[in-house]
Amino acid sequence: MANLTPRQTEILQFIEQRLRQEGYPPSQRDIAEHFGFAQNAARDHLQALARKGEIEISPNDARGIRLLREQTPPGLPLLGRIAAGAPVTAPSNAEHWLEIDPGLFQPRADFLHRVDGDSMIDAGILPGDLVGIHAQSGAENGQIIAACLYEPRGGFERITLKRYRRKGSVVTLHAENPRYEPIVIDLSQPAEDQEAAPFRIAGIMGGLLRTGAPR
């Protein structure tokens, strides 16, 4: 589908450029004149682009070119529970889709996670906050990670924020609240539960969005 020839890509980019610059698409003769060929060559290219699903042509309409494959407005999915084994970033899990620039977070966020407890309150992370998570499978000591913990009853995974620390083969997941006990996992001893790993790293925290004032 997305197998455009170099020439077709040029023509598509020209259409996009004219749309940005002028606010309306070029006519077939505009395209022909710009590239220095005849009108019918432009028409052929447009029909090829339409065949490949890049554009749509309204018959008999002057400049009747509509871009499909629109530039997706930059946004992030808000993920809740995650089906076990499913890739974290699968948008099918998304509760909502928020229009935020992923690049606002550092490192750049791949999805958002809604905090639902007060376990990270001493790190300034309150219940209800949306945390921007950069999806990656490893982490460095001291980083706050989105840990995927398997829920034996239910068959889904649950994302929890924890501060990550590893010493040798022992990983400790700390809460930032003295009322919560850290979770200790010894990687050298295989989990008693062989169906799923006891935890995995979904990503690291890249920032936070609070959509309202705290009470």
Residues 113, 146 contacting (CB under 8 angstroms): yes
Q: Which residues pair with 148 in a beta bridge?
A: 159, 200
Q: According to CB under 8 A, which one of 11, 100, 148, 171 is a site residue for its own copies?
A: 100
Q: Report what 113 binds from its own copies, DNA, none; CB cut-off 5-8 Å by kind.
A: none
Please state the closest distance from residue 93 (CB atom) to DNA, in A. Answer: 36
Residues 139, 204 contacting (CB under 8 angstroms): yes
Does residue 34 touch DNA according to CB under 7 A? no
In the annotation, is 119 catalytic? yes
Among positions 119-138, residues that touch its own copies (CB under 8 A) are 121, 123-126, 129
How many angstroms separate the CA atoms of 139 and 116, rounded?
22
Does residue 95 touch its own copies according to CB under 8 A? no
Per-residue string for binding with its own copies, 51-90, x by CB under 8 A? -----x-x--xxxxxxx------x----------------
Q: Which residues pair with 36 in a beta bridge?
A: none
Residue 129 token pair:
């906050």
Active-site pick, 58, 162, 169, 188: 162
CB pairs under 8 A, 24+ apart, for 16-21? 16/67, 19/67
Residue 26: asked if its preceding bond is cis (omega within 30°), the reply is no
Q: What is the contact surface with its own copies in residues (CB under 8 A)?
A: 19, 22-25, 27, 56, 58, 61-67, 74, 98-101, 104-106, 121, 123-126, 129, 142-144, 204-215
